[in-house]
Amino acid sequence: MMEIKGIIPPVITPMNEDESICLPELRRQVSRLIQAGVHGIFALGTNGEGYILSEKEKEQVLDAVIEETGGRVPVYAGTGCISTKETIRMSLLAESLGADILSIITPSFAAASQEELYEHYRRVAESVKLPIVLYNIPARTGNAILPATAARLAEIDNIVGIKDSSGNFDNMLQYIELTRHLDFKVLSGNDSLILWNLLAGGAGGIAGCANVYPRNMAAIYDRFCAGDLDGARKAQDAIRSFRNCFRYGNPNTIVKAAVAMLGYPVGPCRAPFNRISPEGRQALEEVLRANQELGME
């Protein structure tokens, strides 16, 4: 079993002008993040626009990420789909390609009961050998994994963790409290809560901001583990100005635009999720410039 820990960027998926995937730049981004000291790479996450890629494109992205990573850090693969059958198929594909860990988002659109969610994840877990990290992001999917359900799922051998993007710190605390007796890792999906997750006994975060500031984000975890709490707090606080730009658009749109502004040809997010107002673009440019002067990277 791979150890679930640290700062894992949900790597963006670079695209060309015609919205086709730019695999050479994807490989460049993967190596850039690893060289900056991140602890894993998450392909096909929200920031990777997994929600809008075809199955063939997902296979291309995941294959390139696994090959480029070359075992330097674990590769997490986002394989969650709406149906259980489709999720199993995508999970088996990721397993065959050589992914290390599966990240499985809750089914979306239709409302699911907690028992339906439990059975969904149980069936997927029984169909694969890889460890599974659950992914709770109710604002996007409409379905939430309640703490009691997470605790039940944590009893399944290869369900080893959960990413909580609810933004509700008490919800994340309950995940930690109810699974403390198990080898079950809780990761923050909200970048502002990573240090507080660690202080509460969590394992780190799957951090979209790490696409922009990988070294700074990795420092939150590394400094915490080294006992440098003040340094970890400084690294955590440093992303506030960037996260304030999220009010100007979809967070993953802002993240990808920021990487492009840093000089990487990653393209915008796939339409229609690619708009930033002129005011937002100006604010983002100013924040990036100010943080660059502070030495953030």
Query: Band of the pLDDT at 2, cuts 50, 70, 90?
Result: confident
| Number of other CB atoms surrounding residue 189 within 10 Å | 24
CA 79 distance to own-chain centroid = 12
pTM (whole model) above 0.85: yes
- Computed over every residue of the chain, the mean pLDDT equals 97
Q: Which of 209, 281, 203, 204 is nearest to 238 (CA)?
A: 209
User: CA–CA separation, 206 vs 221, rounded Å?
Assistant: 12
What is the DSSP track for 187-248? EESSGGGHHHHHHTT--EEE-GGGGT-HHHHHHHHHHHHTT-HHHHHHHHHTTHHHHGGGGG
- Tokens representing 83 are 């149906």
Query: 82 by DSSP, 3-state: which?
Result: coil
- Distance between CA atoms of 192 and 207, rounded to whole angstroms? 9
Q: Is the backbone peptide bond immediately before 272 cis, with ω within 30 degrees of 0?
A: yes
Residue 276 has pLDDT above 60, yes or no: yes
Closest CA to 6 of 161, 215, 208, 220: 220
The residues carrying an active-site annotation are 135, 163
Whether the CB-CB separation of 116 and 153 falls below 8 Å is answered with: no
- In degrees and rounded to multiples of 5, residue 157 shows phi and psi of -50, -50
Reported as a single tens digit per residue, the pLDDT across 126-136 is: 999 999 999 99
- From the list 147, 180, 160, 197, the residue with the least C-alpha distance to 7 is 197
Q: What pLDDT, on the 0 to 100 scale, is given for residue 98?
A: 98
Q: What is the pLDDT of residues 149-158, one digit of tens each?
A: 999 999 999 9
Mean pLDDT of the region 177-183: 96
What would the pLDDT profile of 102-135 be if each residue is shown by its tens digit? 999 999 999 999 999 999 999 999 999 999 999 9
1, pLDDT greater than 60: no
